[in-house]
């Protein structure tokens, strides 16, 4: 092995460490060799893509998958244009090769990884010495859409209500009486890391003690070749004070949105991410009534990005 190290690095363009449509991404490919090395081809690629895959179990297993490419660029650093005899030479020691790509200024979704799909933006370098000897390395870079509302194309009216108060009432009947629950949230749109005030008014005219619980409901939807699957996840936000039988009480909770929670998005044809705020009443020996309110998670304040460690791969490619 004459190639001892192969890596690809990029330069940050902002404090968040992210890239957006129209940005220039530049960097370098670093190769360390023990001696002069002949190569057939040496290149670096920039790629943005979305892909989904899931299985349906039945009498037979059916795999549903699809891909969408947002952009693909290739820059050839060295290439043997003769007969593939490896006449291009990389010198011994540490070699650095710069590159620059311009990200297309079009609407593209932010980086995301869900249960059955992901949206990734990456840089890949490949050094081919022969048909049996190929070196590869890859690093992903975080990408953010330019749109503050990556769901506006689906519903313009949702933007109007982002700062409006929401209120929903539910009346549930039990054998011993009824329970009325009024849920009010201060707004529908909240940024990553922000707090959301929620008020629950419970009128307990039953003979049972009830306890409100607060959940953040995540809904991931994936589409492949006209097929659709959904993955949901409920995150317990907190538990309110119990309301004894024959009493009423107003419970107020301040719920903090996790700063690492991915924002709501609809601007990908193969997947989307939605949220709901769910408040349930824990009722002994009965089905728990619940109220769901729409919740839009918006991009929060910039934070420095911790770049993932690069991974280098060396393998021997066998014929056939």
Given a contact cutoff of 8 angstroms between Cβ atoms, the answer to whether 238 and 282 are in contact is: no
Given a contact cutoff of 8 angstroms between Cβ atoms, the answer to whether 170 and 181 are in contact is: yes
The Cα 279–Cα 237 span in angstroms is 10
- Tell me, what's the pLDDT at 264? 92
Question: What is the 3 state secondary structure string of 116-168?
Answer: CEEEEEEEEEEEEEECCEEEEEEEECCECCCCCCCCCCCCCHHHHCCCCCEEE
Collapsing DSSP to helix, strand or coil, 178 comes out as strand
Q: Using only C-alpha atoms, what is the Rg of the chain?
A: 27
Q: What is the pTM of this model?
A: 0.83
Neighbours of 42 (CB within 10 A): 24
- Rounded to an integer, what is the distance from CA 23 to the centroid of its chain? 20
The Cα 185–Cα 292 span in angstroms is 11
- Tell me, what's the pLDDT at 300? 81
- Rounded to an integer, what is the distance from CA 104 to the centroid of its chain? 20
**Ramachandran sector of residue 84 (left: φ over 0; alpha: ψ -120 to 50; beta: rest):** left
Over the stretch 221-270, which tens digit does the pLDDT of each residue have?
A: 999 988 999 999 999 989 999 999 999 999 999 999 999 999 999 889 99
Over the stretch 78-119, which tens digit does the pLDDT of each residue have?
A: 887 765 555 688 899 999 999 999 999 998 999 999 999 999
- Tell me, what's the pLDDT at 85? 53
- Tell me, what's the pLDDT at 149? 67
Domains, the chain: 3-147+304-316 (2.60.40.640), 157-298 (2.60.40.640)
Residue showing tokens 């529908």: 188
**pLDDT beneath 50: ranges in the chain:** 152-157, 304-320
């Amino acid at each position: 092995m004459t190639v001892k190290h192969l890596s690809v690095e990029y330069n940050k363009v902002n404090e968040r460490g992210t890239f957006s449509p129209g940005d220039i991404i530049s960097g370098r490919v670093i190769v360390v060799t023990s001696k002069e090395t002949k190569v057939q081809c040496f290149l670096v690629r920039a790629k943005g893509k979305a892909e989904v895959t899931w299985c349906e179990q039945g009498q037979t297993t059916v795999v549903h998958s699809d891909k969408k490419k947002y952009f693909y660029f290739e820059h050839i650093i060295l290439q043997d244009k003769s007969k593939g005899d490896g006449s291009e030479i990389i010198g011994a020691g540490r070699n650095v090769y710069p590159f620059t790509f311009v990200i297309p200024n079009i609407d593209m979704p932010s980086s995301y990884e869900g249960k059955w799909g992901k949206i990734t933006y990456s840089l890949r370098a490949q050094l081919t010495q022969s048909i049996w000897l190929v070196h590869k390395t890859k690093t992903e870079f975080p990408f953010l859409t330019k749109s503050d509302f990556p769901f506006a194309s689906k519903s313009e009216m949702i933007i109007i209500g982002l700062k409006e108060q929401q209120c929903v009432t539910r009346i549930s009947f039990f054998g011993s009486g009824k329970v009325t629950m009024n849920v009010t949230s201060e707004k529908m749109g909240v940024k990553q890391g922000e707090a959301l005030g929620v008020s629950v008014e419970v009128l307990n005219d039953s003979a049972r003690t009830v306890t409100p619980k607060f959940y953040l409901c995540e809904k991931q939807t994936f589409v492949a070749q006209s097929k659709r699957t959904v993955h949901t996840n409920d995150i317990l936000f907190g538990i309110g004070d119990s309301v004894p039988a024959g009493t009423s009480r107003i419970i107020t909770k301040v719920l903090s949105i996790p700063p690492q929670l991915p924002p709501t998005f609809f601007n990908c044809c193969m997947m989307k991410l939605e949220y709901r705020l769910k408040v349930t009443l824990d009722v002994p020996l009965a089905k728990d009534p619940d109220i769901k309110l729409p919740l839009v998670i918006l991009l929060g304040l910039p934070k420095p990005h911790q770049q993932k460690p690069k991974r280098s791969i060396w393998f021997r490619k066998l014929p056939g």
